[in-house]
Amino acid sequence: MMTNMKKKPAKLAAVQITTGPDIEKNLAAIAEQIQIAAQQGANIVALPEVFACYDSQQYLVLGEHEMTAQGRLRSQMSAWAKTNGVYLIGGTIPVLEPEENKVYPRCYFYSDQGEELGFYDKIHLFDVDIDDAQGRYRESDMFLSGDEIKVFPTPYGNVGLTVCYDLRFPYLYDRLRKAGADIISVVAAFTATTGKAHWQALLQARAIEQQCYILASNQWGQHDEKRQTFGHSMVISPWGEVLDQLPTGQGIASAEIDLAEVQRIRSIMPIANHQRSL
């Protein structure tokens, strides 16, 4: 179990944008929303999955540049965190693995001083068939999967990281809670079709099961001729309440949190103590 820092009052914010073909425009949209979140008092800000680029044809080139901390996107995330004084959950960016000629969908985590504290590689890859315009999704054609959970201590709570399709695997969230997570982020590009059916239900289930705050940052809108995402970024309490939600459009969903509530709920309903191995 991770040793907790002394916890401070906190506000969480989930950024929602529509990533398009223009990387500079995408980065400008993200920068604006981080600044707004910080001005509204956010301490921890999450960006959505593939926030800089949603075009797999560009991932290898982008990923080669992000192999070091001096990469454009990594250095930009560091600067955003430091300039705005927030802990930043950096959505995902592609990072090249040259021997495989594929990229990791990697979520970096930054301190409010801009220090790169570490990263999480998406464990579950989205290889499914969906009844939408895209139809066939095969992330494993381009991506490599990770194999480690990640929880980072902050003055505002211990933060566990997950990405999009991970949301459908409860065991991962159970492991994050057992590793000390008070807050679990879900950075996503959840499709409109699957989002309408399952997004909120899954987020609330993970919050209720693990008795933790869920910070969910999703893409929204039409990205190209085929891809459409669901939006509905939100913050959920450890009792499963939706504290704030942004159904559509660019912007943020934010809410103040109280880690004493995490401890209270876990105390009155000690689910973790009641688990059995069958």
Q: How many residues does the chain have?
A: 278
Taking only the tens of pLDDT, the chain with its 278 residues reads 455 455 778 999 999 999 999 999 999 999 999 999 999 999 999 999 999 999 999 999 999 999 999 999 999 999 999 999 999 999 999 999 999 999 999 999 999 999 999 999 999 999 999 999 998 999 999 999 999 999 999 999 999 999 999 999 999 999 999 999 999 999 999 999 999 999 999 999 999 999 999 999 999 999 998 999 999 999 999 999 999 999 999 999 999 999 999 999 999 999 999 999 88
- Count CA within 13 A, CB hemisphere, residue 48: 34
**Token pair of 98 as six digits:** 């040259």
Q: What are phi and psi of 91, to 5 degrees?
A: 50, -135
Q: Which amino acid is at 231?
A: G
Please state which CATH number belongs to domain 10-274. 3.60.110.10
Short-list 10, 82, 7, CA closest to 41: 10
- The answer to whether the beta carbons of residues 263 and 4 sit under 8 Å apart is no
Beta bridge partners of 225: none
**Which residues have a catalytic role annotated?**
49, 122, 164
Amino acid 119: pLDDT: 98
194 conformational bin, left if phi > 0, alpha if psi -120 to 50, beta if neither: alpha
CA dist 186 and 252 (Å) reads: 14
- Count CA within 13 A, CB hemisphere, residue 67: 12
In order of 19, 27, 254, the CA distances from 32 in angstroms are 14, 9, 15
**Token pair of 274 as six digits:** 């009641």
Short-list 246, 215, 227, 62, CA closest to 152: 215
Cα angle 127, 132, 135 (rounded to 5 degrees) comes to 40
Amino acid 1: pLDDT: 44
